[in-house]
Structure 1
Amino acid sequence: MTKVTAQLSVSLDGFYAGTRHSGDGDWTDSAEAAGFFRITRWMIDAMSWRERQGFAGGEQSTSSDLVAESFEAAGAYVMGRRMADGGEVPWGEEPPFRAPVFVVTHRPRQTLVRRGGTSFTYVTDGMAAAVEQARAAAGGKNVAIAGGGSLVRQVLKAGLLDELDLHIVPVVLGTGMRLFDADLDLAGKEAIELTPTRVVHTPDVTHVRYTVNGRAALVLDDRGSGTGRPMPASPDEPKAEP
């Protein structure tokens, strides 16, 4: 069954890049790029990632195996226009996707066909329409939300995301572009609940896979009532004197 999946590298404090680049000057010299490169070094070192980019070298490691697995599982991709425009030149004539890519945009453009099976179709009627077109093109494989982070949030907010892989890098960026932000529009006691289904530890990054269960309001149960176990105190609640 086709699943909608997403994966991002994040810092310990939840950022997937540094402070957003304003567009002035070279992106690779920006704070946004510095944060992004810091948390994606594990992937750039992976042999399977480098092979897809047409680069030599790299490490055959657990992380490399996971990158190869993600490429193999994807039958189509969805990405934002900023990512597509930024990658068009570096990806060259044979981008690493080798599958149809659907670009969410407000600016129409003819489908861009590249070598190796990659095509970029520009979808102007919204994120949900792009995901639906990707499902139809995926051939039973997964639809991978390639990014950026704001698009992943949109898909999560819309309840369309089935599985989320976070690659957690042991670094604190302090500021930058945060994956989970207030624009998820969670109201009152509501939260998006996930279940971890796989955790893989390596020295450079911890890979955690979650099944997305969806939005749910908190329903208080009777734990702590009549059992001799006190309910947990609020962190701000004054503690009683012994």
Structure 2
Amino acid sequence: MTTQFYGASSLDGFLATPDHDLGWLLQFGDIEGSSYPAFIRDVGALAMGSHTYDWMLKHAIDAGQPWPYTAPTWVFSTRTLRAVEGADVRFVRGDVQTVHATMLQAAAGRNVWIVGGGELVAQFHDAGLLDELIVQMAPVTLGNGTPLLPRRITQPPLRLKSVTMLGHVFAEMRYDVPHKADT
């Protein structure tokens, strides 16, 4: 069981534009040619930031699409957000460490996916709960926006596991996140 971030970043290290939009990513088309189908099969619980959740509501749910996840999703937010009928979405506030054990239990031996955003990924890292980063680097630059991981991580450094070319568009990089006890 692994707690992991999986997502795409611009070449200059941003997940979304300054107004939290992911539309820049949609130009690359269907996820079926990616590693996503194999990845999602191993996910038993999700952690999501409020801006990612807002984007999902606006671009999927409000567009008439069903909630795309069957695994329970914890949305971390300081705001009150509307629920998606029929979806197992749980709204939480505060420290990720207090929620992580419940997420692991719900995942029942499968992985926990930190969907986004960057600050939420960083909070899991700060708490020593992030095990792996899987980043598809896109061939675009955004100039500014939501950083992939808004923390300085130098000691111990991440450990590169693999680099895979996905089509002729993305470079997927997989990193283990060592914990202080691992070094």
Give the TM-score, by structure 2 length. 0.83
Aligned residues: 177
Q: Distance in 2 between matches of 1:127 and 1:121?
A: 13
SS at match of 2:157: strand
What is the CA-CA distance between 1:135 and the residue it aligns to?
Answer: 0.7
The CA deviation string for residues 149-174 of structure 1, in whole angstroms up to 9 with x for no partner, is 22112112222100110101122222
SS at match of 1:83: helix
CA contact (8 A) 2:133 2:176 kept: yes
Q: 1:158 and 1:41, CA in 2 relative to 1: closer, same or farther beyond 3 A?
A: farther
Q: Can you give the 5+ residue segments of structure 2 that lack an aligned partner in the other structure?
A: none
State the partner residue of 1:174.
Answer: 143
Q: Can you give the 5+ residue segments of structure 1 that lack an aligned partner in the other structure?
A: 22-31, 48-60, 217-242
State the partner residue of 1:141.
Answer: 110
* Partner AA of 1:100 in structure 2: P
Q: 1:14 and 1:85, CA in 2 relative to 1: closer, same or farther beyond 3 A?
A: closer
CA contact (8 A) 2:67 2:84 kept: no
* Partner AA of 2:45 in structure 1: A
CA contact (8 A) 1:104 1:130 kept: no
What is the CA-CA distance between 1:179 and the residue it aligns to?
Answer: 1.7
Across the aligned residues of Structure 1 and Structure 2, the Cα RMSD in angstroms comes to: 2.5
Q: Distance in 2 between matches of 1:164 and 1:119?
A: 25
Instruction: Specify the structure having the higher radius of gyration (Cα).
Output: 1
CA contact (8 A) 2:96 2:127 kept: no
The CA deviation string for residues 75-109 of structure 1, in whole angstroms up to 9 with x for no partner, is 01011123223323523573111110011123467
The CA deviation string for residues 103-125 of structure 1, in whole angstroms up to 9 with x for no partner, is 112346797552xxx40011234
* Partner AA of 2:171 in structure 1: T
Q: Distance in 2 between matches of 1:177 and 1:191?
A: 23
**Aligned to 2:88, which of 119, 139, 162?**
119
State the partner residue of 2:15.
Answer: 16
Does residue 193 in structure 1 map to residue 157 in structure 2?
A: yes
CA contact (8 A) 2:10 2:139 kept: yes
State the partner residue of 2:170.
Answer: 205
Does residue 95 in structure 1 map to residue 67 in structure 2?
A: yes
SS at match of 1:193: coil
SS at match of 1:210: strand
